Amino acid sequence: MADLYTPVFLGGTELRNRIVMAPMTRNRAGENNVPTPLMAEYYAQRASAGLIITEAVPISVMAHGYPALAGIYTHEQAAGWKRVSDAVHAKDGKIYLQLWHVGRISHPSLLPNNAQPVAPSAIRPAGQAFTYTGLQDFTTPRVLETDEIPGVIEDYRKAAQYALDAGFDGVEVHSANGYLLDQFLRDGSNHRVDQYGGSIENRARLTLEVTTAVCDVWGADRVGVRLSPVNAFNDMHDSNPQALFNHVAEALSLYGLSYLHVTEMGSAEQAFDFVQLRRCYKGNYMTNGGYDKTRGNAAIASGHADCVAYGVPFIANPDLVERFKADAPLNQADPDSFYGGTEKGYTDYPRMG
């Protein structure tokens, strides 16, 4: 019976175990949004994971929504990420880069020439943006015009090529957690009347077109896609998430992807059948959302998931794989050092012994 320590192939990538490091924003990029040597050290420390998925990485200057994010749209940034992938590979690890556009979850002060953030519709999200001068209220985004969408898809394609040049093992398309692609998917944020709005098929169109463009660069078997059907983060909701995400899962099944990565965190007020969703996807399925070792093993043994992604436990435990195997106690994470800063709370967590 398979468990967290059973090797597995995710498309074209062979994993020595099924414990995945989930993508987590840490805000420690250097000048010009270039990855730093400290970031390379951080990821290399965690290379015993079957797979590392990097923090979400903006695909263009307009894709930014937080301070100190490492991008993937210049040669200098790609060279910085190459140092990261090389450091992980030197420890026999595997690493995918997550491609990201934040859409409306940004602020003019974070964008070129104080530009308005873009979104499927001019709907201001509740909440505040993290900026270099502190929290500021979100603004009403500018509608992304229909004739601008091919340019966004091209930004994803170019970023995918930069990630390939940077030596990664694959990429993950971030279509979750209230960012641009998720904003197009869910009808709480998408009120369009063109071919990207209205019906479920239309709202899913951009995620599928982006996935196609990225697969054209990488080959589908080295591309994952992340979804979050009922995560209310970033003021998100949908009137019928089961029908929407069942459709997306079935459509993505036809691609032959490396995996589908589903965040099971979400609103307790909205019922959702993740077992049904898993049946809709004919391929490798990665789950995420508060799992521990016992629940992770159970998810794999039952066939619900092929891999389990862990977030905060990997922040505080660079040797999480070894600790799980030894049933050793885990370090507790320090939330005050999650976002930004130095090596404190980033590369200084102790290993076992």
Amino acid identity of residue 35, one-letter, is P
Q: In this structure, what are the phi and psi dihedrals at residue 307, rounded to the nearest 5 degrees?
A: -145, 160
Residue 82: count other Cβ atoms within 10 Å of its Cβ: 18
Angle, vertex CA 105, rays to CA 104 and CA 111, nearest 5: 80
- Where does residue 317 fall: left (phi above 0), alpha (psi -120 to 50 degrees), or beta otherwise? beta
pLDDT (0 to 100) of residue 169: 98
Q: Is the pTM of this model over 0.85?
A: yes
Alpha-carbon distance of 79 to 37, in angstroms, equals 11
The distance of Cα 336 from the centroid of its chain, to the nearest Å, equals: 22
For residues 346 and 26, the answer to whether their CB atoms sit within 8 Å is: yes
DSSP β-ladder status, 118-119 and 142-143: parallel
The CATH number of the structural domain formed by 8-337 is 3.20.20.70
Q: Is the dihedral of CA 129, 188, 225, 217 positive or negative?
A: negative
How far is Cα 257 from Cα 267, in angstroms, rounded to an integer?
Answer: 28
pLDDT at residue number 266:
76
Among the listed residues 43, 156, 162, 179, the single catalytic one is 179
Cβ count within 10 A of residue 112: 10
Question: Which residue type occupies 322?
Answer: E
In order along its 353 residues, the chain shows pLDDT tens digits of 899 999 999 999 999 999 999 999 999 999 999 999 999 999 999 999 999 999 999 999 999 999 999 999 999 999 999 999 999 999 999 999 999 999 999 999 999 999 999 999 999 999 999 999 999 999 999 999 999 999 999 999 999 999 999 999 999 999 999 999 999 999 999 999 999 999 999 999 999 999 999 999 999 999 999 999 999 999 999 999 999 999 999 999 999 999 999 999 876 557 899 999 999 999 999 999 989 999 999 999 999 999 999 999 999 999 999 999 999 999 999 999 999 999 999 999 999 98
Residue at token pair 């400290």: 38
pLDDT the model gives residue 268? 56
Residue 42 among the catalytic residues = no
235, 158, 227, 20: CA torsion to nearest 10: -120
pLDDT confidence of residue 267 = 60
CB burial of residue 167 (10 Å; 0-12, 13-18, 19+): middle
- The answer to whether the CB of 276 falls within 8 A of the CB of 264 is no
Give the pLDDT confidence score for residue 280 in this predicted structure.
98
Q: Is the dihedral of CA 155, 157, 160, 162 positive or negative?
A: negative
Please report the pLDDT score of residue 265 as a whole number: 85
